[in-house]
Amino acid sequence: MAWRSKTRNLQVVDTELSADAVEWCPVPSSHGVLACGTYQLQTAKSGEDDAPPSRTGRLYLFEFRREGSVHPPLTELQRIDTAAILDLKWCHVPFPGGAVLGIAAATGELQLHTLSDSQVTARPKQEGGRRLHPLCSVEVGAERLALSLDWSTGRMDSSDVRLVCSDSAGCLSVLSLAEGALASLSHWKAHDFEAWISAFSYWDTQLVYSGGDDCKLRGWDLRAAPSRPTFTSKRHSMGVCSIHSSPHREHILATGSYDEQVLLWDGRNMQRPLGGTPAGGGVWRLKWHPTDPHLLLAACMHNDFHILHCQQALEGGGGASPVVASYTLHSSLAYGADWSRLTVEEAGPRSPVAAEPKESLAESGGHLRIQYESPTTSFDTSLEDDAGRYIPEGRAAPPVTTTAGAALHPNAGAPSASYVLASCSFYDHMLHVWRWDWTPDHTALKSDLC
């Protein structure tokens, strides 16, 4: 495969609290709107050892605007202090009151907010314009965290608007949204431990997928008794924490896990994946590109953000999907990532690079040993070499580079493409907006499939 690929930072925002979820609004009139959620674990103070930890968060609303080369493109519209946010997703279709944002909260609630054009401003830093307003909420279970959610509208279809939510008790909940209220349709125990992720099949919204800390990937048919899965896969060797149904190709599913693997599936045969890619670091989130059926964005916790080109696996060629770009300017856990539907012309000019990449594991000659991994509590890691020997911190970082992926004999005559993305990282509490430019060599792509 050949391509010319480059990532460029556009803007960096300090979210103050640990950032773990980000998504651009898919509704056509609001493509420039970006939501970011944070999660902060507040431990007990000295002398209060018996006090349970509290989880707080903040919801940010931004808008991407083209205002010339002087001003940064991202403008903060609103911030809402709330319970810690584990996941957030926009409904893909608008409602009469505006676009709707769903939030999975540490209180065990599923919360919905509507996006309006109110001119009220609450803080000097916030400008008038689009605002989020609470719509409704529902508790999915007592003494648990809501961990993920997904809408049934991934193919921009408004005929059946439902949500699925997973929680820390290993349960799934399916709810309907009608007339501004959430109604529970079904609730069941799906996994032995935390159900990290839940997702609809966008092509048949009676089918739901889930992944848990019990290392199981499962399917469910809502037309049958939900207590019995349609399949259970143990192809992932660690907890399954990311699932995304392709909005472009029927039956296609992508999954990610703490085992650092991205697997592609045909839902008609869940015995064997179409292909697998070692992405490194643990794959927390996967997002298919809004229009290109072959591009898959992966947030890989300890190994940055990567864009995979999945054509070969999807066309039956199997094997690993090549990484065509990597964004390495975050310095902490890579958790949230999403594609914007904005065109590059709408996105405007770029700002100078505002951060330096951390040393990659490949360059350091070491790898991370995860002592205990969970986004809902604390954990410890250490860097060690292949012989298991500890590598101390403080190694010199490599020179800064904005070139992502490999540049292998680029085809100068090939049409280029440019995209805007957002990503966020945890302990450094940073939100990045960046641009990816690439020139694929379609001749080479076709030859790889032969």
Instruction: Yes or no: say if 429 and 21 are a contact pair by the CB < 8 Å rule.
Output: no
**Arithmetic mean of pLDDT, 359-374:** 37
Q: Which residues of 51-85 are buried (b: 16+ CB within 10 A; e: fewer)?
A: eeeebbbbbbbbbbbeeeeeebbbbbbbbbebbbb
In percent, the amount of the chain with pLDDT more than 70 equals 76
Q: Which amino acid, residue 233?
A: S
Instruction: Yes or no: say if 348 and 140 are a contact pair by the CB < 8 Å rule.
Output: no
Binned at pLDDT 50, 70 and 90, residue 434 comes out as very high
pLDDT value of position 228: 93
pLDDT value of position 2: 57
pLDDT value of position 361: 37
DSSP 253-316: EEEEETTSEEEEEETTBTTS-SEEEE-SS---EEEE-SS-TTEEEEE-BTT-EEEEE-HHHHTT
pLDDT value of position 350: 45
pLDDT value of position 445: 52
pLDDT value of position 168: 98
Topology of 3-44+53-155+200-205+247-358+397-449 in CATH?
Methylamine Dehydrogenase; Chain H (2.130.10)
Residue 69 has pLDDT above 90, yes or no: no
Query: 445 is written with which tokens?
Result: 């792509």
> Residue written as tokens 């090939």?
414
**Arithmetic mean of pLDDT, 329-346:** 91
pLDDT value of position 226: 79
pLDDT value of position 348: 52
Query: What are the domain boundaries of the chain?
Result: 3-44+53-155+200-205+247-358+397-449
- Residue, of 441 and 306, whose pLDDT is higher: 306
**Arithmetic mean of pLDDT, 23-36:** 97
Instruction: Yes or no: say if 304 and 325 are a contact pair by the CB < 8 Å rule.
Output: no
What is the pTM assigned to this prediction? 0.83
pLDDT value of position 355: 38
Question: What's the full length of the chain, in residues?
Answer: 450
Residue 376 has pLDDT above 80, yes or no: no
Binned at pLDDT 50, 70 and 90, residue 227 comes out as confident
Binned at pLDDT 50, 70 and 90, residue 301 comes out as very high
CA dist 157 and 159 (Å) reads: 6
- Convert the pLDDT of each residue in 115-130 to its tens digit: 997 544 444 444 557 9
pLDDT value of position 327: 98
- Residue, of 312 and 392, whose pLDDT is higher: 312
pLDDT value of position 367: 37
Residue 218 has pLDDT above 80, yes or no: yes
Residue 351 has pLDDT above 50, yes or no: no
Residue 275 has pLDDT above 60, yes or no: yes
- Convert the pLDDT of each residue in 154-188 to its tens digit: 999 988 899 999 999 999 999 999 888 999 999 99
Binned at pLDDT 50, 70 and 90, residue 256 comes out as very high
**Arithmetic mean of pLDDT, 228-246:** 97
Mean pLDDT of the chain: 83
Characterize the bridge pairing of strands 162-167 and 171-178: antiparallel
Residue 386 has pLDDT above 80, yes or no: no
pLDDT value of position 53: 79
Binned at pLDDT 50, 70 and 90, residue 48 comes out as low
